[in-house]
Structure 1
Amino acid sequence: MYIIIGLGNPGKKYERTRHNAGFDVIDKLADKHSIKVDKIKHKALIGEGRIGNEKVVLVKPQTYMNLSGESVISLVNFYKIDLKNLIVIYDDIDLDVGKLRIRKKGSAGSHNGMKSIIKCINSQEFPRVRVGVSKPQAGRDLADFVLSRVSKEQVEDMESGFDKAVKTVEEIIDKDIDSAMNKYNG
């Protein structure tokens, strides 16, 4: 069994913003595998289903980004899942729009949602899929930037990144994270 968490902020105001890349990937996974992400549990919207032969729980925390760990620790404790089967998908300003970086473990970097998760579960030992959203122009406020949408010229690259992130999650579940890193990193 896998718990797949997409990070973002709830509400119409934040839909399709850079910071909601994780939510957008969860929506694509849900559509592709006919999983309804519509139950409110563990401070999150969740949906249970299957990807291949594996049971999965798709999750969109509703705590707002900076408190994502509250939802994740509740899920980890409830499902008693091994952290190697917890996959977190989130935006990364250090990658170009639509590029992916897949890792088995690591620090939160500057990402507040990841800081919250690592603090709450007291571990950095879980897989993550980072989706590039690029850096703001010099002088632009970072919070304002990540809460904005990509330009029309970048939409295609962003959508391509979401599609690659879906394939990455499927590859992790079907084979393993090493295979996914070899295929989709960069």
Structure 2
Amino acid sequence: MSAGPLLTSKRLELWQPQIGDLADLFDLTLAEETRRFLGSFVPTEMDAFNRLLRNAGGWALYGYGIFNVRLQGGSKIIATCGVFRSHRGFGPEQGLDNVPEAGWIVHQDHWGQGIAREAMEAALAWFDAAHGQQRIACMIEEGHAASDKLARHLGFVEYGRQESEGAAPLLLYQRT
């Protein structure tokens, strides 16, 4: 696989997933508070490996995907973010299949520092320059105020809602 772009912002470096990132990716979602809006499962090392493969595969298939994020000069992954492809299976009326989707996860130790905002601004600017501005969707669990605020700052507007039995409702956003 070819090396993807290395993006830099005022405080951050963003890069395409690499096999050496596995341990940090596993650590990223271990905290219960971090997983609160990602689903109730406790991730295993195999889950982290599958996430790494999925993220790397997106780059190979589409030429874009999730970036791993560290502080400039640092070595530890503190977040993942970017524009990726996923198949949510919500049906064509919800518009989340076969469309670029934005997403971000920040390590609990770095909440409230503007990491997701800075990283997503860089990732979206790169995506728009490399692939042209187009519709991008994202989904946020209802009640996740910080992600709702960030999505709106990034230009996303709410357009729908997805309800699933036994799960919190998901609010659907798009940026066109």
TM-score, scaled relative to structure 2: 0.29
Select the structure with the greater relative contact order (CA < 8 A; seq sep ≥ 6): 1
TM-score, scaled relative to structure 1: 0.28
